[in-house]
Amino acid sequence: MISSKIGNFFFKIRSFTPIPFIFALLYFAKPVWHTVAVGVPFIVIGELLRIWAVGYAGASTRARTLGAARDLVTTGPYGYVRNPLYLGNFLLSLGVCLVANVYWLVAVLIIGYFCQYLPIIALEEAYLLESCGSAYRAYRGQVPRFLPQFRPYRDPSTHDFSFARAIKSEKRTLTAIICVVGLIFARQVV
């Protein structure tokens, strides 16, 4: 029950937990051309993965309650990895650390990422197991949690991809990326 409460707590506040991380990142940022060249591909890949995922799952990925999901999505990026949004978040955050040239913050990112997302994922998996039963059990047994596999899930769902749905859902994330990266460089000018 304690892990469920922790997972529920982090699930509800997951949009706000990056704020202290961003303040530290902005305070210590000292970008140079080669850190930008290394970090930007991680940011782009992370955001493209998020766009691909929400293009299938929709705005329910931003919900504050577990019951908001349409149903079990096993196609698109979900056919390769069970948590493409969380993987995308990690890649984005890693890229921003690299762009900012704050390498010690990568260790903080890794520790914070697992401390926050493991309880959330445990909560989500328990919910999916309860609501989707054997369909989720089969999916969970064949698709890895964090590291994508090379072949897609053999029984994909019939969800469709919508670019409009993806962009509508990702407006906040795209705005945040532009603002944070812009502030990193603005801080260097001042």
Q: Which residue has the higher pLDDT, 188 or 119?
A: 119
On the question of pLDDT at 59 being above 80, the answer is no
pLDDT of residue 24: 92
Query: What is the C-alpha separation between 105 and 32, in angstroms, rounded?
Result: 16
Query: What is the C-alpha separation between 160 and 175, in angstroms, rounded?
Result: 25
Please name which of 138, 42, 123, 140 lies closest in space to residue 90, comparing C-alpha atoms: 42
Query: What is the C-alpha separation between 21 and 24, in angstroms, rounded?
Result: 5
Q: Give every CB contact of residue 76 below 8 A, 6+ residues apart in sequence.
A: 52, 53, 55, 56, 84, 159, 161
Of all residues in the chain, the percent with pLDDT exceeding 90 is 72
pLDDT of residue 81: 98
Delineate the domains of the chain, giving CATH numbers in brackets: 2-189 (1.20.120)
Q: Contact at 8 Å (CB) between 80 and 143?
A: yes
pLDDT in tens, 60-85: 655 555 555 558 999 999 999 999 99
On the question of pLDDT at 90 being above 60, the answer is yes
